[in-house]
A and B are shown apart, each in its own frame.
Chain A
C-alpha cells in the first residue's frame, strides 16, 4: 500500500500537524518508504493468532476509591503558556 498526496494532507490534519505544499511530496516519499518497509508483514500467516494485549501476563491492579490526589489549580495551570483565573485559555472554539 502507498499514500497519495491527498492522504498525506488528511493524515497531517488528523494529527494536527501543519504541512506546507513543498513538504507534501517529501513526506509522501518518506511515508511510502516506511510503508514499503512494513509491507513484508502482509506475507506472514497470522491465521487464528490473537493480537497481543499485554506483553507480560499479570492482573491489572485496581485502586481503592478515595480522594488521594489534589494538585491544586495553581500547579495544574502552572506550566500553561496562557491561563486566566486558573482557567486554561485557547482561541475561541465555535460549536
Chain B
C-alpha cells in the first residue's frame, strides 16, 4: 500500500491541507541494435520510413520474431530494480486504430509481464530518502510518429520508431510531491544508464513519462486520478504535477469533481489540458498474441545476466562512503552518472579521497555545468585533476593557486599541470626565510594593527591576507600562520 505523506509534503488549499498522490509509467527505450520484433535499425533520426522493415509496416503476412537482446535488457533492468523476474511471461495484443500503429494493435505484455515487483531508493534531498515501489516492468513496441503541423489537411506518418522496444516501468503511487517524482525519474534514469539498458535521453524521447496525479485529504481514500501523457523532461514533470494538483484542488474546493481522463502538459502555457481525441471510451480487447509463443527462460539465464551486471549506484554510493569516507551527499552526487563515478575513482585512488571529491564536485562539475558539458567531454582529464590534487597535497601549490592552475589546464587542453607549475613559477613558497622577510615587513609597517591583534587574535586573518598578497599567493599558508603567531605572540 502507498504510505501517507509526511505533513511537510501537504499543500494548502483554500479549505485546508491536501495530499498529492503520484504514480508513474516510464517508457524507456531499450538499448539494442534492432527492433523488438524485426531486424530494422533502431538508430535515432533517419529519413522518413527508412528504418522500417516490412514487419514494422505491417505488410500482409509479416510475423514478429523476438530480439534476444531486448529480453536480456529487460531482465537486467529488472535485476537492477531488485525486482521479481518472471521466468514465463506472455505477449498480448492491445487493439486500437491509429495511423502510427500499423498493425492496428500494439504487442505488449498485459497479463504476464517479464518483471514483477521491485523497488527504487530515491534521494529527494541530501537528508531525505524515500522508497518507491515498482509494480511491474514489461516489454512492448513503440508506435510510429505522426506529424500534424506540416499541412493544413493531412497528417504525415513516419514509421521509423514503429516496433522499437520499450520497457514500460510502472511505479506504485508512492510519491507525494513534484520533488519526489522528479527525484524518482532521475534515479531511475541513473539506474538504466548504469545498466546500459536505456540511454535515458529524454530529448530524443528515449525516456518518457506518463504521470498519474490525484489529490486527497490526508488519511482519506485515493482520489480520482488524471494521467498526464508523454512528459519529456524532468523539469516538466515537476511543473506538470504542480499545476495539475492545483487544478484538481481548485475543482474540488469549488464543489466540483474530477473526471478520470488523459491530459497533456503544455509547458508554454504552464497548464494541463484534456486530450479530447483520447477521451473516447477505449476497449483495447487485449488477448494473447497468437503469432508469439510464451516467453520462457530458466533461472540460469537470469543468474548469468546477474553476474554480468555492473556495480549499481546504491552499492557504489555505499562503497564510496565506506571506502573513501565521503558524506552521503557527496557520494550521491558522484554516483549520479557512472562516468562521473569512474572519473572520481580514478582520482581518489591513492590520494586524499575527500579532497578529490571536493575538486570533482565543486570545481569540475561546477565548470562543466556552466559550459553545458558532459563529464565524458571534460577538457580536464582525471589524470590532470589528480596531478593538481597531488600538487596541493604535497604542498607544491596552494589551494588558491590550484584554482588558477585548474583554469589554465581547462583552457590549454592536454597540458601537464606539474610542468605548468614549473614553467609559470606557480610553486608555493616554502622557504621560511622569504616568508619571514615578508612577515617582518608587514609587522613593521602596521604597528597599530599589531597592538589590536594582541587584544583580538582574530586579527590574524588580516595579517595572513597581507602576507599572501605580498608573496603573490605563493606562500605556504601554514608557514605564514605559524610565523605570524610566533612573531605577534598570540
Which of A53, A72, A76, A88 touches B156 (beta carbons < 8 Å)? A88
A28-36, A38-46, A59-67: which one contacts chain B? A59-67
Which of A61, A67, A75, A76 touches B159 (beta carbons < 8 Å)? A76
Please indicate the chain A residues that have their CB under 8 angstroms from the CB of B50 in the complex. 70, 72-73, 86
Instruction: Tell me if B152 and A92 are in contact (CB < 8 A).
Output: yes
Please indicate the chain A residues that have their CB under 8 angstroms from the CB of B148 in the complex. 92-95
Instruction: Tell me if B33 and A89 are in contact (CB < 8 A).
Output: no
> Does B153 have its Cβ within 8 Å of any Cβ on chain A?
yes
> Does B155 have its Cβ within 8 Å of any Cβ on chain A?
yes
- 8 nearest A-B pairs in the assembled complex, by CB-CB distance: A68-B39, A65-B69, A69-B39, A69-B53, A60-B293, A87-B156, A62-B68, A88-B157
Which of A53, A61, A63, A84 touches B39 (beta carbons < 8 Å)? A63
> Does A14 have its Cβ within 8 Å of any Cβ on chain B?
yes
Give the residue name and chain of the B residue nearest to A61 (CB). Answer: B65
Please indicate the chain A residues that have their CB under 8 angstroms from the CB of B34 in the complex. 63, 65-69
> Does A48 have its Cβ within 8 Å of any Cβ on chain B?
no
In the bound complex, what is the Cα–Cα distance between A60 and B153 (angstroms)?
44
> Does A18 have its Cβ within 8 Å of any Cβ on chain B?
no
> Does B448 have its Cβ within 8 Å of any Cβ on chain A?
no
Please indicate the chain B residues that have their CB under 8 angstroms from the CB of A76 in the complex. 49, 52, 54, 57, 159
Instruction: Tell me if A71 and B52 are in contact (CB < 8 A).
Output: yes
Which of A65, A87, A93 touches B48 (beta carbons < 8 Å)? A87
In the bound complex, what is the Cα–Cα distance between A77 and B158 (angstroms)?
10
In the bound complex, what is the Cα–Cα distance between A88 and B158 (angstroms)?
7
> Does B375 have its Cβ within 8 Å of any Cβ on chain A?
no
Could you show 17 A-B contacts with beta carbons less than 8 Å apart?
A53-B90, A60-B296, A62-B67, A65-B70, A67-B41, A68-B39, A69-B53, A71-B52, A84-B156, A85-B48, A88-B157, A89-B155, A92-B155, A94-B148, A94-B277, A95-B264, A95-B275
Instruction: Tell me if B49 and A62 are in contact (CB < 8 A).
Output: no
Please indicate the chain B residues that have their CB under 8 angstroms from the CB of A60 in the complex. 66, 292-296
Instruction: Tell me if B49 and A88 are in contact (CB < 8 A).
Output: yes
Instruction: Tell me if B293 and A59 are in contact (CB < 8 A).
Output: yes
> Does B195 have its Cβ within 8 Å of any Cβ on chain A?
no
In the bound complex, what is the Cα–Cα distance between A33 and B344 (angstroms)?
74
> Does A6 have its Cβ within 8 Å of any Cβ on chain B?
no
Which of B97, B99, B277, B293 touches A53 (beta carbons < 8 Å)? B293
Which of B39, B47, B155 touches A90 (beta carbons < 8 Å)? B155
Interface size class of chain B, counting residues whose CB lies under 8 Å from the partner chain: 35 or more
> Does A81 have its Cβ within 8 Å of any Cβ on chain B?
no
Contact A93:B277 (CB < 8 A) given known A53-B293, A67-B33, A86-B48: yes
Q: Which of B292-316 contact A (CB under 8 A)?
A: 292-296
Contact A87:B294 (CB < 8 A) given known A62-B71, A63-B65: no
Contact A16:B40 (CB < 8 A) given known A63-B67, A85-B48: no
Instruction: Tell me if B288 and A89 are in contact (CB < 8 A).
Output: no
> Does B283 have its Cβ within 8 Å of any Cβ on chain A?
yes
Contact A58:B155 (CB < 8 A) given known A66-B39, A86-B49, A94-B277: no
Please indicate the chain A residues that have their CB under 8 angstroms from the CB of B264 in the complex. 95
Contact A70:B296 (CB < 8 A) given known A89-B154, A89-B157: no
A88 to chain B, nearest CB (A): 4
In the bound complex, what is the Cα–Cα distance between A11 and B288 (angstroms)?
20
Q: Which of B372-399 contact A (CB under 8 A)?
A: none
> Does B209 have its Cβ within 8 Å of any Cβ on chain A?
no
In the bound complex, what is the Cα–Cα distance between A82 and B156 (angstroms)?
10
Instruction: Tell me if A89 and B41 are in contact (CB < 8 A).
Output: no
Please indicate the chain A residues that have their CB under 8 angstroms from the CB of B97 in the complex. 16
In the bound complex, what is the Cα–Cα distance between A85 and B146 (angstroms)?
14
Which of B53, B156, B293 touches A89 (beta carbons < 8 Å)? B156
> Does B147 have its Cβ within 8 Å of any Cβ on chain A?
yes
Please indicate the chain B residues that have their CB under 8 angstroms from the CB of A75 in the complex. 54
B304 to chain A, nearest CB (A): 15
> Does A54 have its Cβ within 8 Å of any Cβ on chain B?
yes
